[in-house]
């Protein structure tokens, strides 16, 4: 029962902790069939679970792909767009409010240099008109 619970918990987590104790519980299932006493089952469960955890978790962590959630700043900075009017710029088909150090005109091509809240900080791309 503990093995099933351990595997079940591990399905919903990515920390690779309970899986080792689930393996330990499966070994205990074998010990029960051999009529080994409860004291030795408990010792085996703890020792095996902790040992497997200490050996394999660092290895599993190294092999696990790194997850970096993408936010708007990750995808929008560095992109180019077109000024639509004095308040909006179109980048990747989306309309954004923008701020710029220099005066921009409708149709100017701009590059996104930063994202401040929901406002893009842009700069004009020199020598390029759309």
Burial of 24 from C-beta contacts in 10 A (0-12 / 13-18 / 19+)? buried
Average pLDDT of span 56-81: 76
Give the mean model confidence (pLDDT) for residues 55-71. 73
Residue 102 has pLDDT above 80, yes or no: yes
Per-residue model confidence (pLDDT) at position 67 = 64
Q: Indicate the SS3 state at residue 125.
A: strand
Structure tokens at 64: 């696990």
SS3 per residue for 32-67: HHCCCCHHHHHHHHHHHHHHHHHHHHHHHHHHCCCC
Q: Is the pLDDT of residue 129 over 60?
A: no
What domains lie within the chain, and their CATH numbers?
2-63 (no CATH), 72-129 (2.40.50.140)
Distance CA 74, CA 108 (A): 23
pLDDT > 70? residue 68: no
Write the CB contacts of 97 (distance below 8 Å, at least 6 apart in sequence). 87, 88, 118, 119, 120
Torsion, Cα 98 104 110 112, to 10 degrees, reads -30
Looking at every residue in the chain, the average pLDDT score rounds to 82
Q: What percent of the chain has pLDDT over 90?
A: 35
């Amino acid at each position: 029962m503990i093995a099933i619970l351990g595997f079940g918990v591990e399905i919903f987590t990515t920390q690779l902790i309970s899986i080792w104790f689930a393996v330990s519980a499966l070994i205990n299932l074998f010990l029960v069939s051999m009529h080994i006493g409860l004291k030795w089952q408990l010792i085996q469960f703890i020792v095996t679970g902790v040992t497997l955890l200490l050996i394999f978790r660092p290895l599993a962590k190294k092999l696990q792909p790194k997850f970096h959630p993408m936010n708007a700043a990750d995808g929008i900075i560095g992109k180019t767009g077109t000024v639509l009017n004095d308040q909006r710029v179109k980048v990747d088909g989306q309309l954004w409010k923008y701020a710029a150090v220099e005066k921009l005109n409708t149709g100017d091509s701009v590059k996104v240099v930063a994202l401040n809240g929901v406002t893009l900080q842009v700069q004009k791309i020199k020598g390029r008109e759309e």
